[in-house]
Amino acid sequence: MRRRSPFPVAASCLAACCLVTALCAALGRAADRQLRSGLDIFVSGMDIVSRHYYREVEDRDLAYGALKGMCSALDPHSQFMDEEIYREMKVETEGAFGGLGIEITIRDKFLTVVAPIEDTPAFKAGLRAGDRIVEIEGVSTKDLSLVEAVRTLRGTPGTVARITVMRPSTGAMLPFAITRANIQIQSVKDAGLVRSRIGYIRLTQFQEHTGSDFDKALRALAAEGMEGLILDLRNNPGGLLQVAIEIADKFIGGERLLVYTKGRIRTQNIEFKSHGKAAFPDLPMVILVNKGSASGSEIVAGALQDWGRGIILGEPTFGKGSVQSVLPLPDGSALRLTTAHYFTPKGRVIQKVGVQPDIRVEMTDEQEIKVLMRRRLERMIKESPEGTDLATEKAELKKLGEAADVQLERALDLLQGILAVRKPLGATPAPAPAKTPAAG
């Protein structure tokens, strides 16, 4: 046994040597030389560890450690998945799981809440966009990959996830115990007319039914006499790309470019275009965004902005616009690799940069929390069956006082102004403020 192994190795080594020499000479490629010297250093490092580390470590574990390190150093979304993690990833993307209702990513090396989704346990517990999850069940999240983090946060509905969150705006370390639930989200929210003729729709994410629900809501508003629309994409972490495209498609007609992906290899370059007639090609629009608007939201906002189909109002968006491909490897493991970035029709990259609002209106965390609380209380009061004791809710609401949604107010003023100057001649002129910009 002992003697058997080196011999074939030596033989194949010799053969390999000849081949390599021949090939390298023939090709003379610098890249190969570079790779060779790189591998050489790696192998010598591996050798030192196997001989001098205080305990024995399997070569496979060393190689996997190396692969994990190499891939996660690329960017937060690239990752080496060993067999087990890959298998679980495949199961998870298919099945339904209980969760907390947050979209998370890794930002500045911290596991960061992109946005809590409305009406989910995380939202009710008070998690905020930008919160950094520093611990899950008492264990630091520092070296946790995104997939691993998602896996630990998910679980059977009814079980409790304990997390510790660092809130950058205050530096506070906040512990949360959040009960997992089946996350079923009504993604089209609060559709209605404001100031009699301005439609308002909030999309909390882009999921399977969002497109058709959105369509229904739009048609209903149009039937009620909607003349302008406020599309609220604040704290919308994204979702299905196809659905985001479907939304943009309703406002941009023809065969116009909505978004495209671009990578280093050609197969990664894909254009997504609108098809045919837009349902609402001329409807004046204001799109509300904030730092919790990510991915799909940024695609919609970017397309509408580039085609001059709406005014973007609010804060710069999150900046999440990369495309990952999953590449299975021969030993059952797999590689998740960022292979392309999303670009807006005018060629602006979304990743890290985000979409910049045309009109910047900031809201402090405190203002935002107040608005969200107010919204929740109002809904509770409205939706509770008659006879429910709502005294505490009403008192709380009163205590909140004027919790103005500054961004929404500004959007309403803007749209009202646009509608006023847009009135065709002959119609009764509305007292429009002259300073309102007539944006296209």
Chain residues 325-354 in contact with another protein, contact rule CB under 8 A = 325, 327, 329-331, 333, 335, 337-341
Which of 43, 160, 430, 438: binder of another protein (CB under 8 A)?
43
Q: Please, what is the minimum distance in Å from the beta carbon of residue 162 to another protein?
A: 14
49 binds another protein (CB under 8 A): yes
Which of 65, 126, 155, 316: binder of another protein (CB under 8 A)?
65
Tell me which residues in 127-146 interact with another protein (CB under 8 A). 134, 139-140, 142-143
Which of 95, 156, 223, 264: binder of another protein (CB under 8 A)?
264
270 binds another protein (CB under 8 A): no
Select 331 or 409, whichever has its Cβ closest to another protein: 331
Which of 25, 28, 41, 169: binder of another protein (CB under 8 A)?
41
Select 27 or 160, whichever has its Cβ closest to another protein: 27
Ramachandran category for residue 85: left, alpha or beta (phi over 0 → left; psi -120 to 50 → alpha): alpha
Give the up-direction half-sphere exposure of residue 276: CA atoms within 13 A in the CB hemisphere.
2
260 binds another protein (CB under 8 A): no
CB neighbours of 439 closer than 8 A, spacing ≥ 6? 311, 358, 418
The strand pairing partners of 165, in sequence order, are 133, 174
Tell me which residues in 90-129 interact with another protein (CB under 8 A). 108-109
Q: Please, what is the minimum distance in Å from the beta carbon of residue 81 to another protein?
A: 11
Q: Please, what is the minimum distance in Å from the beta carbon of residue 175 to another protein?
A: 10
Tell me which residues in 368-427 interact with another protein (CB under 8 A). none
Select 126 or 192, whichever has its Cβ closest to another protein: 126
Residues 400-431 as b/e (b if ≥16 CB within 10 A, e otherwise) read eeebebbbbebbbebbbbbbbeeeeeeeeeee
Site string for another protein, 289-328 (x = CB under 8 A): ---------------------------------x--x-x-
Tell me which residues in 1-40 interact with another protein (CB under 8 A). 1-2, 4-6, 9-10, 12-13, 16-17, 19-20, 23-24, 27, 31-32, 34-40
- Phi, then psi, of 326 in degrees rounded to 5: -105, 120
Q: CA 433, 434, 437: angle at the middle one, nearest 5? A: 100
- For residue 312, what are its two tokens? 């973007």
User: Strand 181-182 vs strand 98-99: parallel, antiparallel, or unpaired?
Assistant: antiparallel
Select 24 or 395, whichever has its Cβ closest to another protein: 24
Element (H, E) at 215: helix 210-223
The strand pairing partners of 79, in sequence order, are 336
- Active-site positions read 295, 306, 320
Q: Please, what is the minimum distance in Å from the beta carbon of residue 337 to another protein?
A: 6
Residues 137/161, Cβ–Cβ less than 8 Å: yes
- Nearest to 217, CA basis, from 263, 280, 140: 280
Report how many residues bind another protein under the rule CB under 8 A.
Answer: 92
Tell me which residues in 167-226 interact with another protein (CB under 8 A). 170-174
**Helix extents (H) in 28-95:** 30-52, 59-72, 83-94
- Phi, then psi, of 395 in degrees rounded to 5: -65, -45
- Nearest to 418, CA basis, from 402, 436, 398: 436
Distances in Å between the alpha carbon of 27 and those of 32, 33, 40? 9, 11, 20
Q: Please, what is the minimum distance in Å from the beta carbon of residue 320 to another protein?
A: 14
Select 173 or 430, whichever has its Cβ closest to another protein: 173
Distance of alpha carbon 116 from alpha carbon 119, whole angstroms: 9
Select 13 or 430, whichever has its Cβ closest to another protein: 13
